[in-house]
Chain A
C-alpha cells in the first residue's frame, strides 16, 4: 500500500488552555475521499484549522506529502498544495465573485493560467459564472458554498479539505454542492471532508472516521459504519 499523502500522529490542538483535539491519528491516501463525522463541538473544525495552520497544534506531527507542516503558518501550508474550504465559506464579502475566484489562484500562477482556471471553474459551476460580477456578500448560502468550492479549484491541490459543506443549505443547493464534490472525487482529487452526520456522504466517502471528544474513535467504510447500530443510534442520526 502506498504511503499516506496526509499523515497525522498524536495531534493535539485547541484554544488557549482548552484542548479540543486530543492525540488524534489519521491517514489519508492520494486519491482517497476521507470523511470525518461527529457531533458539534467535538473538534472537527479545530482539526481542519490545525492542519491548515490557522491554529498552532500543542503536540503531535502532521506530514503532508512527506513534509512536516505542524505549526507552520497557513500561507506556507497553502504553498504545499493544501486547500481548505472553511466553515462559513471564507469568501471576501466586499469583493466580486470573480475577484474571490482569482484570489484562489493567488499562488504562483501566470495571468494566462489564472484565466484558464477561471474558465474551468465557470464550466463546472455555470451558476457561479452568472454571479461573477456580484459582491460575495449578496450571494445566497448555496451560491456562496459553490463559489467557495470554485475558488478552491482555482489552483492545483494536493489535498482539498472541506468543512461541513451541508451546513445551512436548502435541499436543492445541497444537491448541487454534493454533486460538485462527487465530480471532484471521480477526478481522483484527494479529499478530506468533515460533516456532522452520514446523511449526504454515502456517495463520496472511501473511508469514514468518527471523531468524538477530540479523537478518532472508529474508522471504516461507509457500509461498515452504517451497519454499526451504536454509531448510528448514538451520534449519527438517520441514514439515507
Chain B
C-alpha cells in the first residue's frame, strides 16, 4: 500500500511538470506546425527568474511565478518574431518544420550561451517556492513544494483548456490549428495570433522552470532535459493533441514512478524508452494523435 501511494504521488508530480512544459510545445505545434526547440531555454530562464527573485531579491514566491510567466511570454513572442515569422510567407516553398526546428534551436543556443556569459556555468540553488512537507501515508513524505508544483501545473493546464475552449481568442487559436484559410476568412489576424500563441506556450515553460529550478538547480543547461522529456511526451501523446499530451504526461509519470519503486532508478529510463518504442511502433501517431493530422 505504501508503494502504491508513493507511485500515485510521484505520478501526479512528474506528470504535472511534464505536462506543463509539453502542453506548450503541443500548442505551438498544433497552431504553427513547428517543434519549438527554444522551449527548454524558457524553462532555464524561468529557473533563473526564480533564483533572482527568491534567492537574490528575497521577494514573495508568487512574484517569482508572475515574473517568470511575463518574462518568458515576452521572450516567446520575440522568438517567434525572429525565428519563425520571417519564414511564414515561404512555408509552402520550404521544409518549414525542419527549418524552424533549426531556427528555434539556434535561438535556444543563443539564449543558453547568453545565460552562460551572464550567470556562469555553476549550478545555483533555488529556494523552494514553499518549504516543509506532509506525511501522506506511513512514511510517504510529500513536500509542499511538490504539491504546489502539481497544483499550479494542473491549474495552468486547466486554465489553458478553458481559454482554448471558451474564449474568443482561444477558439481562434484552435481554428487556426484546424483550418488556417477558414480562420483567416473569419477575420482572425493570424500574424498577431502566432507570436501570442508562442508567448503563451513559453510562459508555461517559464513557470515550470521556477519549480524545476528549485528541484534541480538553475544553470544554463537547466532546460535541456525538460526539453527532451517534453518532446517525448508530445510525440507519445500525439503531435498536436492537447488531451493526448496531458494523458501522455501522466502515463510517462506513472511508468517512471512504477519502475523506480519496483526496479530502482537505474531502470527508470530504459523501461520508459522501451515502452515508448513499443507504443510508437504500433501507433506512430501517438496515443491520441490522428494519422498525418494534428488538431488542437
**Residue A113 at the B interface, CB < 8 A?**
no
Of A75, A84, A86, A107, most B-chain CB atoms within 10 Å: A75
Further contacts, 18 of them, CB under 8 A, given A86-B185, A94-B296, A99-B171: A54-B185, A73-B184, A75-B184, A86-B181, A86-B182, A91-B179, A91-B182, A92-B175, A92-B178, A92-B179, A94-B295, A95-B174, A95-B175, A95-B178, A103-B171, A103-B175, A103-B183, A106-B172
A90 pairs with B185, CB closer than 8 A: yes
List B165-200 residues whose CB lies under 8 Å from chain A. 168, 171-172, 174-175, 178-179, 181-191
If over half of B's interface residues share one DSSP class (helix, strand or loop), that class is named, otherwise mixed; here it is helix
List A46-60 residues whose CB lies under 8 Å from chain B. 52-54
A54 pairs with B181, CB closer than 8 A: yes
Interface size bracket, B side: 20 to 34
Bound form: Cα–Cα A74–B176 in Å: 13
26 sampled A-B residue pairs with Cβ under 8 A: A54-B185, A73-B184, A74-B181, A74-B184, A75-B187, A75-B188, A75-B190, A78-B184, A78-B185, A79-B187, A86-B182, A90-B179, A90-B185, A91-B182, A92-B179, A93-B295, A95-B171, A95-B175, A95-B178, A102-B168, A102-B171, A103-B171, A103-B183, A106-B171, A106-B186, A107-B186
A92 pairs with B182, CB closer than 8 A: yes
- Residues of chain A contacted by B295 (CB below 8 angstroms): 93-94
- Footprint of B on A, CB under 8 Å? 52-54, 73-75, 78-79, 83-84, 86, 90-95, 99, 102-104, 106-107
If over half of A's interface residues share one DSSP class (helix, strand or loop), that class is named, otherwise mixed; here it is loop
List B271-296 residues whose CB lies under 8 Å from chain A. 295-296
- Residues of chain A contacted by B296 (CB below 8 angstroms): 94
* Whole-angstrom distance between the Cβ of A108 and the nearest chain B Cβ: 8
Bound form: Cα–Cα A199–B135 in Å: 77
Bound form: Cα–Cα A55–B241 in Å: 29
Bound form: Cα–Cα A77–B140 in Å: 61
Bound form: Cα–Cα A1–B172 in Å: 41
- Residues of chain B contacted by A83 (CB below 8 angstroms): 185
- Residues of chain A contacted by B187 (CB below 8 angstroms): 75, 78-79, 106-107
